[in-house]
A and B are shown apart, each in its own frame.
Chain A
Amino acid sequence: DVKVTQSSRYLVKRTGEKVFLECVQDMDHENMFWYRQDPGLGLRLIYFSYDVKMKEKGDIPEGYSVSREKKERFSLILESASTNQTSMYLCASSWTSHWGNEQFFGPGTRLTVL
């Protein structure tokens, strides 16, 4: 089974703190994604990566950065957390050459910024 894991299920941080969210996949997927999910809105793409050390901005990259030093690991960084970054963060991964290229999701990290 494909497994995508995230470092924390729940996280509480204070405004201004630097926050690291880690994601690891074990299926040798080329592509990795970070989304945030808020009530009443669809999943919104923050950043994605098609290869090691490669990153592309998604729809809402402001206030976030990412790092992909190894193929299996994709980190999301909140440089200075703010209350409007309170959300559910979902990591996903997928193959490039695969019918459908469906994305496999991690369990999510519910981040609260006080």
Chain B
Amino acid sequence: GQNIDQPTEMTATEGAIVQINCTYQTSGFNGLFWYQQHAGEAPTFLSYNVLDGLEEKGRFSSFLSRSKGYSYLLLKELQMKDSASYLCAVRDSNYQLIWGAGTKLIIKP
């Protein structure tokens, strides 16, 4: 079967750095997405990786290793507004998105 694993919950301190991991086992691979979802709101797109390596976008970076079936989202200089759930999703060989359950990130002052 297809599976996306990410931690259920993480806690970090304002101003610090946090890394949210995502491992996947899917039938084929056509890209990996990270979305942010604040409580009660819609998911919003953060990043897309299809090739191995690091993609940097401001305070957020996303890394992909296709051979290991692994990605991480790195958040730097954490702010209180970064408290949200972070969803990892992989597009499989049928171009359908397989979603992880999300990681709830709690930021403490």
**Chain A residues near B (Cβ < 8 Å):** 4, 40-45, 58, 90, 99-108
Contact = CB atoms under 8 A, between A and B. Distances in A.
Contact of B99 (A42, A101, A104): A42
Given A40-B101, A42-B4, A43-B99, A104 B87 contact: no
Contacts of B45: 102-104
A4 B41 CA distance: 13
Contacts of A108: 40-42
A96 B99 CA distance: 19
25 contacts: A4-B42, A40-B101, A41-B101, A42-B4, A42-B87, A42-B101, A42-B102, A43-B43, A43-B87, A43-B89, A43-B99, A44-B99, A45-B96, A45-B97, A58-B96, A90-B42, A99-B48, A100-B31, A100-B33, A102-B33, A102-B45, A102-B48, A103-B97, A104-B45, A105-B43
B104 to A, nearest CB: 10
Complex A-B, nearest 4 residue pairs according to Cβ-Cβ distance, in ascending order: A42-B99, A105-B42, A100-B48, A43-B99
Contact of A105 (B44, B96, B100): B44
Interface string B23-58: 000000001010000001111110010100000000
Interface of B: 4, 8, 31, 33, 40-45, 48, 50, 87, 89, 91, 96-102
A90 B41 CA distance: 10
Contact of A42 (B44, B50, B91, B100): B100
A42 B41 CA distance: 15
A32 B77 CA distance: 35
B42 A106 contact: yes
Nearest to A58: B96
